[in-house]
């Protein structure tokens, strides 16, 4: 309890008053700012109390608004406006939805036959899948054979090149050795 009293004594009245006034200022500015947002682009000056900009009654104002003006129609979505994004391209939606409906209908037809027909159709599809698997395996085997042949030819070429370089090195070593022996023989004479 003593800690609470010491804490309360440390708080200064100026700090509390500053926080209170900042809160009141925030609330007042937010409340007053709502009227400025409500005016929008079609400000007639009524919210400011300026009646000189009004030219006649409501029917006159309605006539001044063009027919093709963008309006926010309330349609019942979130915040009573449309849930559909106006930037969305709706031309493809109908075709895609029709394709999905057709696919669903085919799936229903495929599943509504009797057991014998369903079994035959499934076995036919599996047979086709096995044929495709066999064709793919043949193509892969042929490709593997070509790759193996290319690798063998490349290895043979590298081996021949290594043999040629080894022979050249041996010939150079022999000629250097022969030259060194001749010099040694000349030195002995």
Q: What is the pTM of this model?
A: 0.27
Q: Give me the torsion for CA of 82, 83, 84, 86, rounded to 10°.
A: 60
Handedness of CA 51, 53, 56, 60 (dihedral sign): negative
Q: Is the pLDDT of residue 135 over 80?
A: yes
Domain count across the chain: 1
What is the reported pLDDT for 18?
92
Domain assignment present for residue 134? The answer is: yes
- Residue 183: domain span: 114-189
Q: Give 90-119 pLDDT, tens digit per residue.
A: 777 778 888 898 888 777 766 666 777 777
How far apart CA 156 and CA 63 sit, in angstroms, is: 92
């Amino acid at each position: 309890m003593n800690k609470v009293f010491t804490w309360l004594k440390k708080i200064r009245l100026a700090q509390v008053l500053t926080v209170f006034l900042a809160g009141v200022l925030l609330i007042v500015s937010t409340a007053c700012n709502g009227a400025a947002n409500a005016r929008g682009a079609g400000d007639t000056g009524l919210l400011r109390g300026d009646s000189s900009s009004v030219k006649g009654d409501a029917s006159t104002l309605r006539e001044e608004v063009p027919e093709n003006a963008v309006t926010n129609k309330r349609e019942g979505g979130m915040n009573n406006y449309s849930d559909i994004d106006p930037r969305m391209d709706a031309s493809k939606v109908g075709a895609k939805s029709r394709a999905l409906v057709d696919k669903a209908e085919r799936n229903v037809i495929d599943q509504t036959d009797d057991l014998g027909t369903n079994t035959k159709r499934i076995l036919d599809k599996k047979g086709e899948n096995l044929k495709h698997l066999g064709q793919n395996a043949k193509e892969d085997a042929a490709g593997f054979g070509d790759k193996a042949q290319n690798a063998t030819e490349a290895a043979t070429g590298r081996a021949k090149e290594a043999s040629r370089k080894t022979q050249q090195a041996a010939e150079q070593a022999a000629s250097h050795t022969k030259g060194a022996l001749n010099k040694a023989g000349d030195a002995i004479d």
